[in-house]
């Protein structure tokens, strides 16, 4: 998929390298363009400084000087992504979002799934604490539909293979909050959904997952207010973009409510080949209605109500809890909340070459392990110990220093430690008189 940048590629159509090398950059600068990169061996320049239409002057001038050129917008290219498939160990969705590689589990993060309820007797959730409430008149929090149990499973079910199933949950140690806002028939109203959001905020949930929506093109004001106030209170509302597209027949659909609120993170769905799902709604509204991010949403295996206990289904509803689970991992990894958490989720997405109006920032991706921060030191030994550098280096290693170089003529040792180490700790090593943080130098 082409993805143009704001720069242009100028190709000089001549076989004379010397002409290209001497004349081409000068001509570009004279005409007001900025050659950011010039490759004389290729006869190619990457330039900025003009709109597409302005290059008519360049092409005309170049032709008059026997140096014909082609000009075209610079294009961004992407790695050809592999397709994913369910294995005995994990669903394709867990693999695609890299949850199985993440050291984070969502521990300490409260995630509310507002849906059709939850099958609390599911064998994969034995021993897990579930806080639940129903806002549907005449119905308890138990799931009489299955949709809610499926979403809870994807967001917070087991990540590792169990006795009965492959792993399918993104954040297996997140705290489960279930608000039943849709009845057994799979439908609900503004009053039940807003009550669920209010309840989730009252309980301090940092992530609110809503795999629900209405095919309403206009932005619905209650969810603008609710989304904004949730962010202010340290929570992110994540909602399904909608399944009203029929792309195979040319209908891109549109993002409905509540996902079309600019303060609700809207989730599109991709398949295991990293292509946009046929049903996944496309952003069309000028204000609000954007797709912010994408998640696995086709043939998603997760928990279900009894007696089946498991089911494989599709929808932007299935993509949403993948994003909500990653939100929990990101919150755990970074400590971010509210708008900062939103920003980190989007920034952590992986580009998969799909248009922004389909997949937003790209495929939601789990945070990886933090790289240990290190500090480099120049360590000076006592004058009477310069002949003992080797033994002092060994003592430094025992104290946790990675010794990278000894300088016997100077009586110094170069090494690295974690950033938590202080000079005083290094001076405690026998024979060491001082330790200075290494300074970077540059040519003057």
Nearest in space to 131 (alpha carbons), one of 148, 122, 118: 118
418 counts as catalytic: no
Q: Calculate ∠ Cα 291-316-200, nearest 5°.
A: 85
Q: Which of 134, 303, 317, 324 is catalytic?
A: 317
Q: How far apart are the first and last CA of the chain?
A: 45
- DSSP β-bridge partners for residue 176: 111, 130
CA distance 160 to 116: 25
For 133, the enclosing helix (H) or strand (E) is: strand 130-134
**How far is the C-alpha of 235 from the C-alpha of 339, rounded, in Å?**
8
Give Cα separations from 67 to 8, 18, 35, 107, 344 (angstroms): 18, 12, 17, 63, 47
What is the 8-class DSSP label of residue 353? Answer: S
Q: Which of 86, 102, 115, 124 is catalytic?
A: 115
Q: Cα–Cα distance between 206 and 324 in angstroms, integer?
A: 10
Take residue 218 and report the two structure tokens written for it.
């206009």
**Residue 280 annotated in active site:** no
Beta-ladder partners of 416: 376, 402
Three-state DSSP class for residue 152: helix
| Cβ contacts of 55 within 8 Å, gap of 6 or more | 8, 71
Catalytic residue of the set 147, 150, 220, 322: 147
Beta bridge partners of 312: 301
Cα separation of 29 and 22, whole Å?
12
Least Cα distance to 117 among 198, 197, 200, 177 occurs for 177
- Inter-CA distances, 209 with 69, 111, 112, 173, 185, Å: 53, 7, 6, 16, 19
Tokens 């009550």 — which residue? 195
- Residue 8: closest CA among 26, 30, 34, 27: 34
| Beta-bridge partners for 405 | 414
Name the burial class of residue 406, with classes exposed (0-12), middle (13-18) and buried (19+) by CB atoms within 10 angstroms of its CB.
Answer: middle
What one-character-per-residue DSSP string does 153-194 give? HHHHS-SS--SSS-B--S-TTSEEEEEE-S-TTS---HHHHH
* Separation between Cα atoms, residue 34 and residue 58, nearest integer Å: 13
Q: Is 190 a catalytic residue?
A: no
Which residues are marked as active site? 115, 147, 317
């Amino acid at each position: 998929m082409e993805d143009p940048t704001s720069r242009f590629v100028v190709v000089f159509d001549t076989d004379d390298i010397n002409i290209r090398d001497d004349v081409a950059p000068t001509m570009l600068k004279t005409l007001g363009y900025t050659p950011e990169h010039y490759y004389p061996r290729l006869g190619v320049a990457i330039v900025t400084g003009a709109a597409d239409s302005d290059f008519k002057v360049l092409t005309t001038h170049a032709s008059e000087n026997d140096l014909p050129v082609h000009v075209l917008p610079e294009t961004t290219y992407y790695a050809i992504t592999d397709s994913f498939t369910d294995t005995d160990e994990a669903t394709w969705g867990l693999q695609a979002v890299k949850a199985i590689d993440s050291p984070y589990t969502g521990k300490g993060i409260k995630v509310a799934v507002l849906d059709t309820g939850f099958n609390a007797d599911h064998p994969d959730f034995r021993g897990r604490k579930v806080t639940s409430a129903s806002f549907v008149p005449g119905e308890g929090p138990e799931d009489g539909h299955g949709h809610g149990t499926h979403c809870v499973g994807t967001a917070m079910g087991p990540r590792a293979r169990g006795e009965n199933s492959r792993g399918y949950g993104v954040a297996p140690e997140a705290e489960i909050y279930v608000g039943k806002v849709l009845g057994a028939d799979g439908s609900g109203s503004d009053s039940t959904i807003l009550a669920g959001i209010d309840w989730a905020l009252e309980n301090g949930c940092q992530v609110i997952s809503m795999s629900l929506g209405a095919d309403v093109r206009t932005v619905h004001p209650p969810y603008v207010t609710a989304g904004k106030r949730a962010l202010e209170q340290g929570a992110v509302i994540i909602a399904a973009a909608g399944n009203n597209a029929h792309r195979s027949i040319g209908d891109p659909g549109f993002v409905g409510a509540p996902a079309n609120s600019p303060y609700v993170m809207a989730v599109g769905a991709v398949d295991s080949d990293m292509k946009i799902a046929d049903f996944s709604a496309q952003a069309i509204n000028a204000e609000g209605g954007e797709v912010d991010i994408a998640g696995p949403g086709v043939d998603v295996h997760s928990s279900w109500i009894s007696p089946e206990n498991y089911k494989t289904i599709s929808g932007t509803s299935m993509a949403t809890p993948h994003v909500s689970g990653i939100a929990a991992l990101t919150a755990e990894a970074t400590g971010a909340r509210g708008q900062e958490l939103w920003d980190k989720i989007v920034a952590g997405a992986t580009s998969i070459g799909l248009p922004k109006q389909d997949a937003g920032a790209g495929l939601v991706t789990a945070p990886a392990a933090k790289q240990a921060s290190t500090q480099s030191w120049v360590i000076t030994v006592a004058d009477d110990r310069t002949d003992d550098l080797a033994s002092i280096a060994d003592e430094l290693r025992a104290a946790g220093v990675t010794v990278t170089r000894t300088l016997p003529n100077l009586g110094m040792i170069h090494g690295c430690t974690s950033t938590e180490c202080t000079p005083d700790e290094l001076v405690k090593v026998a024979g060491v008189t001082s330790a200075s943080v290494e300074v970077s130098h540059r040519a003057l």
